[in-house]
A and B are shown apart, each in its own frame.
Chain A
Amino acid sequence: MENFQYILPEIFISVSIMIFLLVGVFKKNSATLIYNLSNISLVILLALIINLSSLDTIYLFNESYLIDNLSNYMKIILVGSGIFVMLTGSKYIQVINLNKIEYPILILSSILGMMIMISSNDLIVFYMGLELQSLALYVLASFNRDNLLSTESGLKYFVLSALSSGLLLYGCSLTYGFSESTNFDQILINSTEFNYGTTFGIVFILVGLAFKISAVPFHMWAPDVYQGSPTSVTLFFAILPKIAALSVFIKFLYTPFANMNDQWQTIIVFISIASMIFGAVAAIGQKNLKRLIAYSSISHMGYALAGLATVSNQGIQSSITYISIYLVMNLAFFSCLFMLKRNDKYYENIDDLSGLSKKHPILSFSLLIVLFSLAGIPPLAGFFAKFYVFLAVVEQSMYFLAIVGLLATVVAAFYYLRIIKIIYFDPEKDGYETSHNFGLKITLAISTIFILAYFIYPSGITEIVSKITMI
């Protein structure tokens, strides 16, 4: 029983979900209440996780569940960004008539699934968490069920994700078959000798994970799902599943398959380079901001994976730093997107930004900062994210990866500049509403200041992340 105190956060969130469901069933018109309660429960959840984070590595439930520095940090940024996602989206879902009780509950269950994924130390536990988050995500993607694009994206995501889950499961079974265990540490011990079975297992598992993180060549779902889903769900998609998938990536590569890095390193390098280049090139022609940010996130995942390809603690830490800064930039970008509202209609095309700077100087300035940061121009936070990654990549003398990655940033800079050009250089259009809810404003303010002022004290995140060592 003593194990239970360590999974208090997970228990708390499960119980909350059930209570909210009951409240939703028995109390009429309780959608807003549940939305707010869910947000409060996320804050409590964050406090519970932070409370546990001072502990050392703890194995639970027959070593199938693991709480360590990595899982704690990832859970903190996961739940933290979850709170901001809820804050920014609250007005949006009311305006487009999606304020139903299921919405916050689905988000909470998805977060629960991700927490289980992050902490899992066993193939079966991992798969359970993965499916819990995916099921919630399928529904969320098609949540705007009267909208053709939304239903299409939900269906597309479901079919493709099911396929990738199948591949992943096949990989898991191969791994189990050849290493005689589902426990990550046991797999590591049992798989000292090279055999094709485990190699195939690795490949299939990596394919499944690459799908979840939307890395090339398993990215096809991302643009459609990003565009079709309600914007608040897109924001969710852009951040939280990526955090979870990246930490699972780290976990798989550096625990069960740590001995076989010569097998998977090439795969990760390839995926990383392909994502960086494809994301940069494909985004150039986009007209829809959500679609564009989908391609941009593909290329950002390429950089995060480049850190993992190095097989070094430095690389893992740089990836984690990268995803931390990436999520702040996305929060800021989507906050700006939520502000493009006029007469209860949200605008999401690039052309809608035309001449924004004349009527909305502060919003435009925030977008300017975010876009330059996404492009990785110093002295903004996005530059440091890339800097850490390339610091790790060059340390391992992987010059090809570094140079390709940096050249891809130049290509990517082009489409970020194009948006800035439209905001600042083009003739102005009708203005947008200027009154926004507090949550949205505070999120934009915090994230923009974070990006802008990151250079003053850049070692903050690095110091926390440097505790995470896998090798």
Chain B
Amino acid sequence: MNFPILSSLILLPTIGALFILFTKSSSGKYQSAKYVSLFISLANFLLSIYLWYIFDKNSVDFQFVENREWLSGFINYKVGIDGISILFIILTTFITPICIISVNATITNRLKDFLIAILIMETFMIGVFCSLDLVVFYLFFEAGLIPMFLIIGIWGGERRVYSAFKFFLYTLLGSVLMLVAIISIYWITGTTDVEKLYELGIKAEYQNLLWLAFFSSFAVKTPMWPVHTWLPDAHVEAPTVGSVLLAAILLKMAGYGFIRFSIGLFPIASENFTMLVYILSLIAIIYTSLVALMQEDMKKLIAYSSVAHMGFVTLGIFTMTQQGIEGSIFQMISHGLVSAALFLSVGVVYERHHTRLINKYGGLVSIMPRYAIVFMVFTLGALGLPGTTGFIGEFLILMGAFEKNILVAMIASLGVILGAAYMLWLFKRVVFGEMNNQELKSMKDLKTFEIITLSALVVPILFFGFYPEPLMNSIETSVENTLNMYNFDLINNLAAKD
């Protein structure tokens, strides 16, 4: 067996967390803890880039597979990646160091514990995207609740307890049904190994119920309307870094789960329930966009816009077209970058002015010109202007949707307009306009570390917006393979019926 590169990726942050546990604080500043965590997360990022480099983009198989006996006789610890998962892993390892740099500003108490929580979180998130066994996947998927609960609850805002509980219980309630489904799959097919399940297939008669059980978990996590209400609460109360992790990576677990498990394992049921997903996605796109228009809290507005964007993602996935799924993956990556950037931007002004209410701001362009520029890039990224990553994702999704159902595509296109409306309006109210509030005058422009983190996010948003080829290249074969298997199963099923 080769060097277990994926396990190292998963374990490295935890090892870093153990190191931090033993660091000492000099006059309450935790410098060494910060450096250790930054070093570890950057090392992990470089490792994942190296992984992307040696990754064979033209292979349909899972690569770097590690298969170890774990629960004797039942379940193996199995990890491996394909072109889809590698992008999410890089997104995770890219966002984590940015979070750690931004910790400086936002977290004042118990910094050490916070860094440990973030690193443990990174382990679980990478684990989710690597796992090739349903039980291992569930383990990582659920384990992420623990650090996130603590991040919201300890370092959050005023209503943090309510939000933390809501986040935890909603997600747990959604996932317990998935656990029943996973166990049922084990007894129906005799394995929970994803690769084997792809080969074996699951009998059509079981698929609908199993699909619904998985859906209940992913729908909460995505989040889809009507179970999205935990997200605005969690986002508003979480500290900036917590919101970034939540929006950028945690929400993507569900989208990834839809592609990997819902479509991969239950193609017939996915076909049956396509309309349900379309309708829920459209409601999410239109309804939450309208709700976002009316928000007075910046974080809440971005949270609702996340729901709308994830609506596009679920819509794209269930078009079952090459463009739709590729667009969804692209949209997830793009949303991961853009929403992280937006939350950080809100964090920048919140840290200076200590309010998130939109009407307390105005005319920031005259005192914070640099901030106004980066914030504009992110706003345009969020509304999907050509030249940013947001455009490519939405465009491909809509292309896929037009191919399958014109009405759905037309309604979804309305969401693009609404998205432009609420994002531009937000930008106008915060950055342009009269500066009525005298206190704002004392606000300083971006500090060095903020320039570093925000420009680190500007670069990929613009770069992949103009040149999406590297990302597309990596997912193309895997998406094609997923769709081929999907169509193959559907045809087989039709043949079996005849």
Contact = CB atoms under 8 A, between A and B. Distances in A.
Say whether A associates with B.
yes
Interface of A: 361, 372, 377-379, 383, 387, 390-391, 394-395, 399, 402-403, 406-407, 409-410, 413-414, 417, 420-421, 424-425, 455, 458-459, 462-463
A324 to B, nearest CB: 15
Given A410-B169, A413-B172, A462-B72, A390 B154 contact: no
Category for how many chain B residues contact A: 35 or more
Nearest to A361: B113
Question: Main SS of chain B's interface residues?
Answer: helix
Nearest to A396: B187
A391 B187 CA distance: 8
A387 B145 CA distance: 18
Given A414-B165, A458-B70, 4 more contacts: A377-B146, A391-B183, A410-B176, A424-B150
A377 B165 contact: no
Contact of A372 (B70, B146, B176): B146
Contacts of A361: 113
Given A372-B146, A378-B143, A410-B176, A390 B183 contact: yes
B154 A379 contact: no
Given A390-B180, A399-B180, A463 B72 contact: yes
Nearest to A372: B146
Contact of A406 (B70, B149, B177): B177
Contacts of B165: 414, 417, 421
25 contacts: A372-B146, A377-B142, A377-B143, A377-B146, A377-B172, A387-B183, A390-B180, A391-B183, A391-B186, A394-B184, A394-B187, A399-B180, A402-B180, A403-B180, A407-B176, A409-B172, A409-B176, A410-B169, A410-B176, A417-B165, A421-B164, A424-B153, A425-B161, A425-B164, A455-B139
Contact of B154 (A372, A394, A424): A424
A406 B184 CA distance: 14
A417 B149 CA distance: 9
A305 B481 CA distance: 45
A256 to B, nearest CB: 30
Contacts of A455: 139
B133 to A, nearest CB: 13
Contacts of A395: 187
Contacts of A458: 70-71
Given A377-B145, A395-B187, A421-B153, A406 B179 contact: yes
B173 interface: yes
Contacts of B154: 424-425
A274 B70 CA distance: 34
A413 B179 contact: no
Nearest to A463: B72
Contacts, number: 87
B180 A394 contact: yes
Contacts of A462: 71-73
A425 B160 contact: yes
A407 B183 CA distance: 15
Contacts of A403: 176-177, 180
B168 interface: yes
Contacts of B169: 410, 413-414, 417
Interface string B122-163: 000000000000010011101101100110011000001100
A417 B146 contact: no
B172 A410 contact: yes
Interface in B56-93: 69-74
Given A378-B138, A424-B153, A462-B72, A394 B183 contact: yes
B70 A390 contact: no
Q: Which of B69, B70, B146, B150 has the most chain A CB atoms closer than 10 A to its own CB?
A: B146
Given A377-B143, A377-B145, A390 B168 contact: no
A122 B192 CA distance: 43
Contacts of B74: 391
Contacts of A409: 172, 176
A425 B72 contact: no
A445 to B, nearest CB: 15
A330 to B, nearest CB: 20
Contacts of B140: 378-379
A384 B73 CA distance: 15
Q: Which of B146, B149, B179, B186 has the most chain A CB atoms closer than 10 A to its own CB?
A: B179
Given A390-B180, A421-B161, A424-B153, A379 B143 contact: yes
Contacts of B168: 413, 417
A143 B183 CA distance: 46
A213 B168 CA distance: 31
A459 B72 contact: yes
Contacts of B187: 394-395
Nearest to A399: B180
Contacts of B172: 377, 409-410, 413
Contacts of A414: 165, 169
B262 to A, nearest CB: 20
Contacts of A377: 142-143, 145-146, 172
Nearest to B188: A394
Nearest to A393: B183
Contact of B139 (A379, A406, A420): A379
Q: Which of A378, A391, A424 has the most chain B CB atoms closer than 10 A to its own CB?
A: A378
Nearest to A402: B180
Contacts of A378: 138-140, 142-143
A410 B71 CA distance: 25
A420 B165 CA distance: 11
A399 B188 CA distance: 13
Given A417-B165, A455-B139, A425 B153 contact: yes
Contacts of B71: 458-459, 462
